[in-house]
Amino acid sequence: MNEVQKLPQHQASTMLYLVPTPVGNLKDITYRSIEVLQKADVILCEDTRTSSRLLQHYNIQKPISPYHQHNEHKIVPHLITQMQSGKVFALITDAGTPGISDPAFLLVRACIQQNIKVECLPGATAFVPALVVSGLPTNRFAFEGFLPIKKGRHSLLTKLSLEERTIILYESPMRLQKTLLELITYFGEERPCSVSREISKIFETHIRGTLQEVHNYFQQHGVKGEIVIVLGGKLT
Protein backbone atom coordinates (compact mmCIF):
# COMPACT_ATOMS: atom_id res chain seq x y z
CA MET A 1 0.00 0.00 0.00
CA ASN A 2 1.25 3.48 -0.82
CA GLU A 3 2.54 5.25 2.29
CA VAL A 4 0.36 8.27 1.59
CA GLN A 5 -2.71 6.03 1.95
CA LYS A 6 -1.81 4.45 5.29
CA LEU A 7 -4.22 6.68 7.17
CA PRO A 8 -6.97 8.98 5.85
CA GLN A 9 -5.63 12.50 5.74
CA HIS A 10 -8.54 13.92 7.75
CA GLN A 11 -7.46 11.92 10.80
CA ALA A 12 -4.27 13.96 11.20
CA SER A 13 -4.03 17.60 12.25
CA THR A 14 -2.25 20.03 9.93
CA MET A 15 1.23 20.54 11.34
CA LEU A 16 3.14 21.79 8.27
CA TYR A 17 2.04 24.49 5.87
CA LEU A 18 4.02 25.27 2.71
CA VAL A 19 3.45 28.97 2.09
CA PRO A 20 4.39 30.60 -1.25
CA THR A 21 5.97 34.04 -0.97
CA PRO A 22 6.19 36.80 -3.61
CA VAL A 23 8.79 36.40 -6.35
CA GLY A 24 8.91 40.18 -6.70
CA ASN A 25 6.23 42.61 -5.60
CA LEU A 26 5.46 42.14 -1.91
CA LYS A 27 1.75 42.55 -2.68
CA ASP A 28 1.79 39.23 -4.55
CA ILE A 29 0.78 37.21 -1.50
CA THR A 30 -2.63 35.82 -0.62
CA TYR A 31 -4.71 36.83 2.40
CA ARG A 32 -4.71 33.21 3.47
CA SER A 33 -0.91 33.00 3.36
CA ILE A 34 -0.68 35.96 5.74
CA GLU A 35 -3.28 34.37 7.98
CA VAL A 36 -1.39 31.06 8.14
CA LEU A 37 1.90 32.81 8.91
CA GLN A 38 0.22 34.75 11.70
CA LYS A 39 -1.16 31.57 13.27
CA ALA A 40 1.87 29.28 12.93
CA ASP A 41 3.93 28.52 16.00
CA VAL A 42 7.21 28.69 14.08
CA ILE A 43 8.10 29.93 10.60
CA LEU A 44 10.89 28.06 8.81
CA CYS A 45 12.86 30.33 6.45
CA GLU A 46 15.40 29.63 3.74
CA ASP A 47 17.19 32.90 4.59
CA THR A 48 16.00 34.56 7.81
CA ARG A 49 17.27 37.97 6.67
CA THR A 50 15.31 37.87 3.43
CA SER A 51 12.17 36.50 5.09
CA SER A 52 12.33 39.04 7.91
CA ARG A 53 11.70 41.86 5.44
CA LEU A 54 8.51 40.20 4.23
CA LEU A 55 7.32 39.37 7.74
CA GLN A 56 8.02 42.89 8.98
CA HIS A 57 6.15 44.34 6.00
CA TYR A 58 3.02 42.46 7.11
CA ASN A 59 3.69 42.91 10.83
CA ILE A 60 3.98 39.16 11.39
CA GLN A 61 5.78 38.55 14.66
CA LYS A 62 6.54 34.87 15.04
CA PRO A 63 9.65 32.86 15.91
CA ILE A 64 11.68 32.13 12.77
CA SER A 65 14.20 29.36 12.24
CA PRO A 66 16.53 28.60 9.30
CA TYR A 67 15.67 25.70 7.01
CA HIS A 68 17.82 25.42 3.89
CA GLN A 69 19.73 22.93 1.75
CA HIS A 70 22.75 23.03 4.05
CA ASN A 71 20.95 22.04 7.26
CA GLU A 72 17.78 20.20 6.20
CA HIS A 73 19.22 16.68 6.55
CA LYS A 74 20.34 17.48 10.08
CA ILE A 75 17.22 19.20 11.45
CA VAL A 76 14.35 17.26 9.85
CA PRO A 77 14.15 14.69 12.69
CA HIS A 78 13.99 17.49 15.27
CA LEU A 79 11.24 19.26 13.32
CA ILE A 80 9.22 16.05 13.09
CA THR A 81 9.49 15.63 16.86
CA GLN A 82 8.27 19.20 17.38
CA MET A 83 5.28 18.66 15.09
CA GLN A 84 4.41 15.42 16.83
CA SER A 85 4.33 17.38 20.09
CA GLY A 86 1.67 19.66 18.61
CA LYS A 87 3.57 22.60 17.12
CA VAL A 88 2.39 23.99 13.79
CA PHE A 89 5.11 25.02 11.35
CA ALA A 90 4.95 27.18 8.23
CA LEU A 91 7.74 26.84 5.66
CA ILE A 92 8.65 29.71 3.36
CA THR A 93 11.58 30.22 1.00
CA ASP A 94 13.20 33.38 -0.33
CA ALA A 95 10.68 33.60 -3.16
CA GLY A 96 8.00 31.42 -4.72
CA THR A 97 6.58 28.06 -3.70
CA PRO A 98 8.66 25.86 -1.36
CA GLY A 99 9.83 22.68 -3.08
CA ILE A 100 10.08 24.20 -6.56
CA SER A 101 13.89 24.42 -6.98
CA ASP A 102 13.94 25.23 -3.25
CA PRO A 103 14.14 23.10 -0.07
CA ALA A 104 11.00 21.28 1.12
CA PHE A 105 11.06 17.74 -0.28
CA LEU A 106 12.88 16.06 2.62
CA LEU A 107 10.61 17.60 5.24
CA VAL A 108 7.43 16.87 3.29
CA ARG A 109 8.45 13.25 2.78
CA ALA A 110 9.27 12.82 6.47
CA CYS A 111 5.91 14.32 7.48
CA ILE A 112 4.02 11.95 5.19
CA GLN A 113 5.93 8.97 6.56
CA GLN A 114 4.95 10.01 10.10
CA ASN A 115 1.31 10.75 9.13
CA ILE A 116 1.75 14.46 9.78
CA LYS A 117 -0.57 16.37 7.50
CA VAL A 118 1.04 18.69 4.97
CA GLU A 119 -0.82 21.47 3.22
CA CYS A 120 0.56 23.59 0.39
CA LEU A 121 -1.16 26.91 -0.23
CA PRO A 122 -1.52 28.02 -3.84
CA GLY A 123 0.55 31.01 -4.79
CA ALA A 124 3.52 32.50 -6.57
CA THR A 125 6.13 30.62 -8.58
CA ALA A 126 8.41 32.22 -11.15
CA PHE A 127 8.14 29.78 -14.04
CA VAL A 128 4.37 30.03 -14.60
CA PRO A 129 4.23 33.74 -15.60
CA ALA A 130 7.44 33.31 -17.62
CA LEU A 131 5.86 30.43 -19.54
CA VAL A 132 2.53 32.15 -20.09
CA VAL A 133 4.06 35.36 -21.51
CA SER A 134 6.70 33.58 -23.60
CA GLY A 135 4.43 33.11 -26.59
CA LEU A 136 5.50 29.45 -26.72
CA PRO A 137 3.10 26.49 -26.38
CA THR A 138 1.79 26.09 -22.83
CA ASN A 139 -0.34 22.94 -23.22
CA ARG A 140 2.65 20.64 -22.59
CA PHE A 141 5.92 21.63 -20.97
CA ALA A 142 8.95 20.22 -19.14
CA PHE A 143 10.17 22.09 -16.08
CA GLU A 144 13.84 21.32 -15.42
CA GLY A 145 14.76 24.01 -12.88
CA PHE A 146 18.50 24.66 -12.62
CA LEU A 147 20.74 22.63 -14.92
CA PRO A 148 23.54 20.62 -13.25
CA ILE A 149 26.66 22.76 -12.97
CA LYS A 150 29.05 19.96 -14.05
CA LYS A 151 28.15 16.30 -13.65
CA GLY A 152 25.27 15.27 -15.89
CA ARG A 153 25.02 18.60 -17.72
CA HIS A 154 26.10 17.28 -21.12
CA SER A 155 23.83 14.24 -21.01
CA LEU A 156 20.83 16.29 -19.85
CA LEU A 157 21.29 18.94 -22.54
CA THR A 158 21.64 16.20 -25.16
CA LYS A 159 18.38 14.65 -23.95
CA LEU A 160 16.56 17.98 -23.79
CA SER A 161 17.60 18.86 -27.33
CA LEU A 162 15.21 16.12 -28.48
CA GLU A 163 12.35 17.20 -26.19
CA GLU A 164 9.21 18.15 -28.14
CA ARG A 165 7.54 19.98 -25.24
CA THR A 166 8.30 23.56 -24.22
CA ILE A 167 11.26 23.56 -21.82
CA ILE A 168 11.62 25.78 -18.75
CA LEU A 169 14.95 26.43 -17.02
CA TYR A 170 16.09 28.57 -14.12
CA GLU A 171 19.47 30.32 -14.35
CA SER A 172 21.54 32.86 -12.45
CA PRO A 173 22.45 36.15 -14.17
CA MET A 174 26.15 35.30 -13.80
CA ARG A 175 25.77 32.11 -15.85
CA LEU A 176 23.14 33.23 -18.36
CA GLN A 177 25.49 34.09 -21.24
CA LYS A 178 27.40 30.82 -20.91
CA THR A 179 24.18 28.81 -20.74
CA LEU A 180 22.70 30.53 -23.80
CA LEU A 181 25.85 29.69 -25.77
CA GLU A 182 25.58 26.07 -24.68
CA LEU A 183 21.92 25.97 -25.64
CA ILE A 184 22.83 27.27 -29.10
CA THR A 185 25.34 24.41 -29.41
CA TYR A 186 22.85 21.74 -28.38
CA PHE A 187 19.56 23.18 -29.68
CA GLY A 188 20.66 25.29 -32.66
CA GLU A 189 20.70 29.07 -32.99
CA GLU A 190 17.21 29.20 -34.52
CA ARG A 191 15.39 27.51 -31.59
CA PRO A 192 12.72 29.95 -30.26
CA CYS A 193 13.48 31.29 -26.82
CA SER A 194 12.15 33.71 -24.21
CA VAL A 195 14.16 34.96 -21.25
CA SER A 196 12.25 36.59 -18.39
CA ARG A 197 13.98 38.54 -15.64
CA GLU A 198 12.84 40.30 -12.47
CA ILE A 199 9.29 38.92 -12.70
CA SER A 200 6.78 41.05 -10.79
CA LYS A 201 9.41 43.72 -10.07
CA ILE A 202 9.82 47.26 -11.39
CA PHE A 203 12.29 46.27 -14.10
CA GLU A 204 10.50 43.13 -15.29
CA THR A 205 11.74 42.26 -18.78
CA HIS A 206 10.91 39.59 -21.36
CA ILE A 207 13.29 39.09 -24.29
CA ARG A 208 11.91 36.87 -27.07
CA GLY A 209 13.43 35.62 -30.30
CA THR A 210 15.76 32.90 -31.49
CA LEU A 211 18.45 31.66 -29.13
CA GLN A 212 21.02 33.61 -31.12
CA GLU A 213 18.97 36.82 -31.00
CA VAL A 214 18.38 36.52 -27.27
CA HIS A 215 22.07 35.82 -26.66
CA ASN A 216 23.06 38.84 -28.73
CA TYR A 217 20.70 41.05 -26.73
CA PHE A 218 22.16 40.10 -23.37
CA GLN A 219 25.68 40.28 -24.74
CA GLN A 220 25.02 43.94 -25.56
CA HIS A 221 22.93 44.91 -22.53
CA GLY A 222 24.18 42.69 -19.73
CA VAL A 223 21.84 41.06 -17.26
CA LYS A 224 20.80 41.39 -13.63
CA GLY A 225 18.11 39.75 -11.51
CA GLU A 226 16.46 36.34 -11.36
CA ILE A 227 16.21 34.52 -14.69
CA VAL A 228 13.74 32.09 -16.29
CA ILE A 229 14.57 30.63 -19.72
CA VAL A 230 11.72 29.20 -21.83
CA LEU A 231 12.63 27.22 -24.95
CA GLY A 232 10.48 25.94 -27.77
CA GLY A 233 10.40 22.16 -28.16
CA LYS A 234 11.92 20.33 -31.06
CA LEU A 235 9.67 20.39 -34.10
CA THR A 236 8.71 16.96 -35.43
Q: Tens digit of pLDDT for each residue in 131-143?
A: 999 999 999 999 9
Q: Are 207 and 217 in contact (CB under 8 A)?
A: yes
Instruction: Using the predicted structure, report yes or no on whether residue 10 has a pLDDT greater than 50.
Output: no
What gap in Å lies between CA 138 and CA 174, rounded to an integer?
A: 28
Alpha carbon 200 to its chain's center: 15
Q: Calculate mean pLDDT across residues 42-47.
A: 96
The pairing of strands 141-146 and 89-92 is unpaired
The pairing of strands 205-210 and 89-92 is unpaired
Residue 94 pLDDT level (bands cut at 50, 70, 90): very high
Q: Is 72 strand, coil or helix?
A: helix
Instruction: Using the predicted structure, report yes or no on whether residue 75 has a pLDDT greater than 50.
Output: yes
Residue 224 pLDDT level (bands cut at 50, 70, 90): confident
Instruction: Using the predicted structure, report yes or no on whether residue 7 has a pLDDT greater than 80.
Output: no
Q: Are 21 and 29 in contact (CB under 8 A)?
A: yes
Containing H/E element for 145? strand 141-146
Q: Is the pTM of this model over 0.85?
A: yes
The chain-wide mean pLDDT, for the chain, equals 92
For 29, phi and psi rounded to 5 degrees?
-140, 145
168-197 core/surface letters (b: 16 or more CB in 10 A; e: else): bbbbeeeebeebbebbbebbeeebbbbbbb
CA atoms within 13 A on the CB side of 147: 26
Q: Are 108 and 118 in contact (CB under 8 A)?
A: yes
Q: Calculate mean pLDDT across residues 71-86.
A: 95
Q: Calculate mean pLDDT across residues 44-54.
A: 94
